[in-house]
Amino acid sequence: MRRDSSWRDAVGIVVVAVVAAAVSNALAGPERKLHWIGSYSSAVPAAPATVVPTPSPGAAAAAVTPAAGDEAGKAFAPHPNKAWVEISGEDVAALYARGNILFLDARRTSVYRAGHIAGARSISIWEADADDKVKALFSEGRDQSAPIVVYCSGGDCEDSHHLGEKLYFVGFDNVLVYKDGFPDWEKRGLAVKKGDAP
Amino acid sequence: MNSRLTSSWVTARVQFVLAAIFVVAGFGKILDPPGFAHEIYNYKLLPGVAVNALAIVLPWIELVAGFALFVGVARRSAARIFGVLLIVFVIALSVNLVRGRPVDCGCFGGPKVPKTDVQRLGDMKIAIVRDLGMLLLVWQVLAAVRREERDRR
């Protein structure tokens, strides 16, 4: 009997915790809120995904041609069979120099606020509004084949890869992951901005 | 078991220490559920769909059980919950140590400063030793509760 009572108490503790957690999460602001069901893949593949995306109206657009004077001199063609491809810091710097490339920061909003690539927009994949922000980006009617550079903290950080997958599944087929991320950007002494604004 | 180890003086202090550790740990995670979800994900032990639910609920289980132990309610149940959690933590850290995969423990919320892989691996070993030490505290509470019940009969 005593043992049953002990297990009943344990269940009671868990039930109280679940209710408190649900209330806390419901009342949390966008930076603290989580969807109960995560939308992350269990593991980011070592090589870019090879899933064929749903064809989109902009998918047939021609490969992006580098602007005149582009130091890298590379064309970052759309890759409709891959969710993302990784690119080096040199390539990222060359793309940034073009001035018309969208940069997205996949790190937490608080980290973004402390310093981000000047002009980059924040879409933290760990915060509950990530999917809404991706949908809003899609709704802007951007060219889905134009390069989008996503980054996080470099090293073993996978946030940018996850964001790349989200972008890919709404139809963007030219997501470029900045492999070495923001630490590399800072090391290069390139433009950094603090605060909420891009 | 030595009656000194299960005396009310020792038990009160062990309960206080255990409760304080879990309340602090739970509170640190409650402040930043997305950060804790990130830490859980990095362990690569759960399917992605389960990460958020665990990140939302686990800190509250730590907090509620810690509070119960602190006020002396349902002590055996709270101690058992802590025992289960600590065993799970030790297994999760050990699996990633064996994989050679450095992860931030996430025990008290996210790390305040970025760490190197070597620092992370070192911290994981320390966390395992700490969790095993806390399991001894759990065992003391369970033994003390058992003894109190026996003495009452």
In this complex, do A24 and B30 lie within 8 Å of one another by their Cβ atoms? yes
Q: Given this model, what pLDDT does residue A156 score?
A: 83
Q: Given this model, what pLDDT does residue B116 score?
A: 85
Where in the sequence is the domain holding A12, given as residue range(s)? 1-30
- pLDDT, tens only, A25-36: 999 998 899 999
Residue A152 belongs to a domain: yes
Same domain assignment for residues A23 and A51: no
Mean pLDDT lowest for which of A74-78, B61-65, B67-71, B145-149? A74-78
The nearest CA of chain B is from the CA of A32 a distance in Å of 6
Distance in angstroms between the alpha carbons of the first and the last residue of chain A = 62
Per this entry, what is the length of chain A? 198
Interface pTM, i.e. ipTM: 0.93
Where in the sequence is the domain holding B38, given as residue range(s)? 8-148
Residue A35 belongs to a domain: no
Same domain assignment for residues A87 and A6: no
Alpha-carbon gap, residue A54 to A49, rounded angstroms: 14
Q: Given this model, what pLDDT does residue A64 score?
A: 41
Tell me phi and psi for residue A122, to 5 degrees. Answer: -100, 125
Number of domains in chain A: 2
| Token duo for residue A106 | 């996949």
Q: Given this model, what pLDDT does residue A183 score?
A: 96
Q: Given this model, what pLDDT does residue B130 score?
A: 97
Put simply, whether B57 touches A (Cβ < 8 Å) is yes
Residue A75 belongs to a domain: yes
Q: Given this model, what pLDDT does residue A30 score?
A: 87
Same domain assignment for residues A84 and A156: yes
| Token duo for residue A158 | 């996978």
Alpha-carbon gap, residue A115 to A9, rounded angstroms: 47
Q: Given this model, what pLDDT does residue B96 score?
A: 96
Q: Given this model, what pLDDT does residue A47 score?
A: 44
Same domain assignment for residues A92 and A123: yes
Same domain assignment for residues A75 and A145: yes
Same domain assignment for residues A188 and A126: yes
pLDDT at residue B132 is higher than 90: yes
Q: Given this model, what pLDDT does residue A4 score?
A: 59
Q: Given this model, what pLDDT does residue A61 score?
A: 36
Residue B2 belongs to a domain: no
Same domain assignment for residues A74 and A128: yes
Same domain assignment for residues A10 and A83: no
Same domain assignment for residues A9 and A83: no
Q: Please enumerate in sequence order all residues whose Cβ is within 8 A of that of A42, keeping only pairs 6 or more positions apart, or say none.
A: B44, B46, B47, B48
Mean pLDDT of chain B: 94
Average pLDDT of the segment spanning B4-8: 91
> Chain A neighbours among B 95-124 (CB < 8 Å)?
102, 114
Same domain assignment for residues A8 and A57: no
In this complex, do A10 and B74 lie within 8 Å of one another by their Cβ atoms? yes
Q: A126: which chain B residues are within 8 Å (Cβ-Cβ)? A: 34-35, 37-38
Alpha-carbon gap, residue B73 to B110, rounded angstroms: 30
Alpha-carbon gap, residue A101 to A119, rounded angstroms: 9
Number of domains in chain B: 1
Residue segments in chain A with a per-residue pLDDT below the cut of 50: 1, 43-72
Q: Please enumerate in sequence order all residues whose Cβ is within 8 A of that of B53, keeping only pairs 6 or more positions apart, or say none.
A: A36, A37, A38
Average pLDDT of the segment spanning B128-137: 98
Q: Give chain A's contact residues with B (Cβ, < 8 Å).
A: 2, 6-7, 9-10, 12-14, 16-18, 20-22, 24-25, 28, 31-43, 108, 124, 126-128, 153, 156, 159
Alpha-carbon gap, residue A24 to A20, rounded angstroms: 6
Q: Crossing angle for the helix pair B48-71 and B33-43, nearest 10 degrees? A: 120
Residue A160 belongs to a domain: yes
In this complex, do A10 and B35 lie within 8 Å of one another by their Cβ atoms? no
Are A101 and A148 in contact by the 8 Å Cβ rule? The answer is yes
Same domain assignment for residues A78 and A120: yes
Alpha-carbon gap, residue B48 to B105, rounded angstroms: 18
Residue A157, domain CATH: 3.40.250.10
pLDDT at residue B149 is higher than 50: yes
Q: Per DSSP, what are the bridge partners of residue A121?
A: A104
In this complex, do B35 and A126 lie within 8 Å of one another by their Cβ atoms? yes
- Collapsing DSSP states into helix, strand and coil, what is residue A117? strand
- pLDDT, tens only, B78-121: 999 999 999 999 999 999 999 999 999 999 987 777 788 899 99
Residue A145 belongs to a domain: yes
Same domain assignment for residues A20 and A109: no
Alpha-carbon gap, residue B148 to B11, rounded angstroms: 11
